[in-house]
Amino acid sequence: MDASDCDVASTNWTHWHGIPWQDAHQVVGRLQARIARAAKAGDWRNVRRLQRLLTRSLSAKALAVKRVTENQGRKTPGIDRQTWSTPDEKWQAVGTLHHKGYKPKPMRRVYIPKANGDRRPLGIPTMRDRAMQALHLLALDPTAETTGDSHSYGFRRERSTADAIEQVRNALGRKHSPKWVLEGDIKGCFDNIDHEWLLAHVPMDKGVLRKWLKAGYFEGNTLFPTESGTPQGGIISPVLANLALDGLQSKLAELFRTVREARAAKVNFVRYADDFIITGTSRELLEERVKPLVQEFMRERGLELSEKKTLITQVTDGFDFLGWTVRWQGRMLLTRPSGKNVKNFLEKVRGTLREMRTARQADVIDKLNPVIRGWANYHRSQMATRTFAKTDHRIWQALWRWARRRHPNKGERWIKARYFRRFDGRDWRFAEKDKALTTLTSFHKKPHVKVDGSRNPYSPEDEDYFDARLARRMASDLKGRRKLAWLWYWQEGLCPCCNQKITKATGWHIHHVIKRSNGGSEQMSNLQLLHPNCHRQHHANE
Give me the CATH number covering residue 158: 3.30.70.270
Q: Please, are residues 427 and 361 in contact by the beta-carbon 8 Å criterion?
A: no
Would 107 be classed as within a structural domain? yes
pLDDT for the residue numbered 224: 84
Would 452 be classed as within a structural domain? no
Would 305 be classed as within a structural domain? yes
pLDDT for the residue numbered 489: 87
Question: Are 143 and 164 part of one and the same domain?
Answer: no
Question: Are 159 and 60 part of one and the same domain?
Answer: no
Which residue segment(s) compose the domain that 433 sits in?
Answer: 338-442
Would 264 be classed as within a structural domain? yes
pLDDT for the residue numbered 10: 59
Question: Are 5 and 114 part of one and the same domain?
Answer: yes
Last residue of some domain: 336, 351, 373? 336
Question: Are 179 and 252 part of one and the same domain?
Answer: yes
Q: Can you say how many angstroms the Cα of residue 517 is from the centroid of all Cα atoms in its chain?
A: 40
Q: What is the 3-state secondary structure (H, E, C) of 74-89?
A: CCCCCCCCCCCCCHHH
Tell me how many domains the chain contains. Answer: 4
Last residue of some domain: 122, 147, 172? 147
Would 114 be classed as within a structural domain? yes
Q: What CA–CA distances, in Å, run from 457 to 46, 159, 380? A: 20, 10, 26
Question: Are 141 and 157 part of one and the same domain?
Answer: no
Largest CA distance in the chain: 78
Question: Are 254 and 369 part of one and the same domain?
Answer: no
Would 449 be classed as within a structural domain? no
Q: Please, are residues 175 and 330 in contact by the beta-carbon 8 Å criterion?
A: no
Dihedral sign, Cα of residue 254, residue 257, residue 261, residue 265: negative
pLDDT string in tens for the chain (542-residue length): 454 445 655 568 888 999 999 899 999 999 999 999 999 999 999 999 999 999 999 999 999 999 999 888 888 899 999 999 999 999 999 999 998 889 999 999 888 777 666 777 788 899 999 999 999 999 999 999 999 999 999 999 999 999 999 999 999 999 999 999 999 999 888 888 999 999 999 999 999 999 999 988 888 888 888 888 777 778 999 999 999 999 999 999 999 888 889 899 999 999 999 999 999 999 999 999 999 999 999 999 999 998 888 999 999 999 999 999 999 998 899 999 999 999 999 999 999 999 999 999 999 999 999 999 999 999 999 999 999 999 999 999 999 999 999 999 999 999 999 999 988 888 899 999 889 999 999 999 999 999 999 999 999 999 999 999 988 888 888 877 888 888 898 898 999 989 899 988 888 888 988 887 677 777 888 888 999 888 888 888 76
pLDDT for the residue numbered 472: 87
Q: Please, are residues 438 and 364 in contact by the beta-carbon 8 Å criterion?
A: no
Question: What is the pTM assigned to this prediction?
Answer: 0.89
Pairing of strands 509-512, 217-219: unpaired
Task: Specify the length of the chain in residues.
Answer: 542
Question: Are 20 and 137 part of one and the same domain?
Answer: yes
Question: Are 77 and 126 part of one and the same domain?
Answer: yes
Q: Please, are residues 313 and 172 in contact by the beta-carbon 8 Å criterion?
A: no
Q: Please, are residues 243 and 193 in contact by the beta-carbon 8 Å criterion?
A: no
Question: Are 292 and 385 part of one and the same domain?
Answer: no
pLDDT for the residue numbered 3: 47
pLDDT for the residue numbered 194: 93
Would 67 be classed as within a structural domain? yes
Beta strands (DSSP E) in 310-446 are 311-314, 319-321, 324-329, 332-337, 420-423, 426-432, 435-436
Question: Are 233 and 273 part of one and the same domain?
Answer: yes
The single-letter code of the amino acid at 369 is N
pLDDT for the residue numbered 209: 94
Question: Are 360 and 419 part of one and the same domain?
Answer: yes
Would 223 be classed as within a structural domain? no
Query: Could you give the CA distance from residue 173 to residue 335 in angstroms, rounded to a whole number?
Result: 10
Query: Could you give the CA distance from residue 398 to residue 409 in angstroms, rounded to a whole number?
Result: 19
Last residue of some domain: 290, 312, 336? 336
Question: Are 110 and 159 part of one and the same domain?
Answer: no
User: How is residue 276 annotated by DSSP?
Assistant: E
